[in-house]
Amino acid sequence: MKAVQVVTLTGPSDIDVREVPEPTPTAHDVLVEVHSVGISFPDLLLSRGEYQFKPEPPFTLGVDFAGVVLDPGAAESSGFTVGQRVAGVNLHGGAAEQVANPVVFTFPLPDAMSYDEGAALPMNYLTALFALEERGGLRDRETVLVHGAAGGVGTATLQVAKGLGARTIAVVSTQEKADFARAAGADDVVVGPDFKDAVKELTGGRGVDVVLDVVGGDAFTDSLRCLAEKGRILVVGFAAGQGIPEVKVNRLLLGNTDVRGVGWGAYAMTRPGYMQKQWHRLAPMIDSGVIKPPIGATYDLADFGRALVDMDERRTLGKSVVRVR
């Protein structure tokens, strides 16, 4: 079968589509015929050997995917059946014509969702739910400020926050991204790096309860200044590429505010059943239409590397998806 593989740790331009043996499921796996694969930031880091998880080349990329069950194997007791539509997530391995994925990391895909949308769901939306609910303690009617709000994690956070009863303010860099974030569900949108005053005006001077930050860099200090009393900044990533920001902790003391790390993968993958509980939590939001992943660009399997380059150069909106078949 065909698979997208990292052969040398020299970046996305050098990944290769190769013929590899079909996977052999273990007793804890379900065998899936892959239809769509989501493009994710960990794929980019893995291609350079920069991710915290460092498999030895050659290895197959693909963090999240959607497809059809070929063989539930010993997973029959979990309820999966041959021909069932599913989505799944793992550290890597989904960018192939078939994948043997652990049952605990595989989820039933609602009929209303396409395979492209299914491939956009697992990592981003489970991360957003973990960030807002588990780490952020988000409460009904609180206000959430989302940086990088036109990206995959950003749009997921806008929708999950809405599903949890919050008001959302999106921060983006261009008018095109502003339109995209608004279409994804943002209540208000601020364009440009000087967002602090606009956010204060939108909140009547009070500030926001939660900031979700996938960007880092220069925006971080102004995010602290945007917090209401007892506000929380959720640190998800550093996409700005400006290094890791530092916190002057006296700011936290004066405002009774928090900075909280969000490491969904390390947390969820070591707690069997946790992701399944999260998926169940998302199900009513999917059924109601609050969650509907916005798909940006789509690519053929041979163009997986180009998709990663486009994401790295910040040319993408929403979730990019590679179509395997």
The pLDDT tens digits for 123-171 are: 999 999 999 999 999 999 999 999 999 999 999 999 999 999 999 999 9
Q: What is the pLDDT of residues 45-59, one digit of tens each?
A: 999 999 988 999 999
Does domain 136-261 fall under CATH 3.40.50.720? My reply is yes
pTM to 2 decimal places: 0.95
**What confidence score (pLDDT) does residue 75 get?**
60
**Cβ within 8 Å of residue 246, ≥6 positions away:** none
Task: Specify the long-range contacts of residues 304-310, CB closer than 8 Å, at least 24 apart.
Answer: 304/4, 304/15, 304/17, 304/37, 304/39, 304/61, 304/95, 305/4, 305/12, 305/13, 305/14, 305/15, 305/47, 306/12, 307/39, 308/12, 308/15, 308/39, 308/43, 308/44, 308/47, 309/12, 309/13
CB 158 within 8 A of CB 317: no
Q: How much is the pLDDT for 243?
A: 64
Q: What is the pLDDT of residues 14-24, one digit of tens each?
A: 999 999 999 99
Please tell me the class of the 2-123+287-323 domain: alpha beta
pLDDT in tens, 272-283: 999 999 999 999
The pLDDT assigned to 77 comes to 67
The residues spanned by each domain of the chain are 2-123+287-323, 136-261
Question: What integer pLDDT is reported at residue 288 of this predicted model?
Answer: 96
